[in-house]
Amino acid sequence: MPVFEACPECDLLLNQSKAAPGDKAHCPRCGFLLHRPHKHSIERTLALSAAGLVLIVPANLLPMLTIKILGKTQEGTLWSGVSALLKEDMWAVAAMVLLSSVALPVINLILAFLISFHLFAEKFNRRIMVWMRWYQHLFEWAMIEVYALGIIVACVKLSDMADIKFGFGLYAFIGLLMINTLLANEFDNYTFWRSITHLSKRQRV
């Protein structure tokens, strides 16, 4: 029996792709990137998410920037913006910044770690589908790369009035940014769902 799949953006019925690792399968009608299988995608996801979870700690705790204006200095971490916004009663903005720069990147790393660990160890868990669904929905709300661009713009704005020094928190944050980019590249939803289906079928036998 031939196995079919459908394009998520135009619903074209397609034969299940036999894209080899390294290939990219696009929808012939709308050009949507259907999947791009990678070699060792699960192992790499596991390694990257573990590394990311380690880097989260210094990125959150160590000062990222230090400014000096007229002899007065001040340090800022990833959290100081959130706490300052809360002090000014801007709780909605504070919540949005907290979610997209701290909370969701952590949650996504934990989800990616849990999913890839269970697939790697071939341990079936009922919740793995729920993790996948959460990961897919929360993915775009973690905005580390946008935050990094925000740091650049803030530094440019400050360059006129202050001396700026970069701290270790910033280096850890840049590491986290790189890991996140690599992770997004490795985490192919299609490959992961297929592995999950295989795993759950084997479980039932």
- Residues in contact with Zn ion by CB under 5 A are 7, 9-10, 12, 27, 29-30, 32
Binding site for other proteins (CB under 8 A): 4-6, 8-13, 29-32, 65, 67, 69-70, 72, 74, 76-77, 79-85, 88, 90, 92-94, 96-97, 100-101, 129, 132-133, 136, 140-141, 143, 146-147, 149-154, 156-162, 189-190, 193, 196-197, 200
30 vs 69 by CB, closer to Zn ion:
30
**Amino acid (one-letter) located at 47:** A
Tokens of 24: 């990219």
Q: With contact defined as beta carbons under 8 Å apart, do 35 and 190 qualify? A: yes
59 binds, among Zn ion, other proteins, none (CB under 5 to 8 A by kind): none
Q: How far is the CB of 81 from other proteins (least distance, A)?
A: 3
Q: How far is the CB of 22 from other proteins (least distance, A)?
A: 21
Residue whose structure tokens are 């790393």: 109
Q: Which of 78, 71, 52 is nearest to 169 (CA)?
A: 78
Residue whose structure tokens are 């998520």: 8
* Cα 30 to Cα 8, 11, 14, 112, 154, distances in angstroms: 10, 10, 12, 29, 39
CA angle 183, 132, 204 (to 5 degrees): 125
141 binds, among Zn ion, other proteins, none (CB under 5 to 8 A by kind): other proteins
35 vs 118 by CB, closer to Zn ion:
35
Q: How far is the CB of 190 from Zn ion (least distance, A)?
A: 14
DSSP-based three-state secondary structure for 129: helix
Q: How far is the CB of 19 from Zn ion (least distance, A)?
A: 15
Residue 66 DSSP code: E
39 vs 204 by CB, closer to other proteins:
204
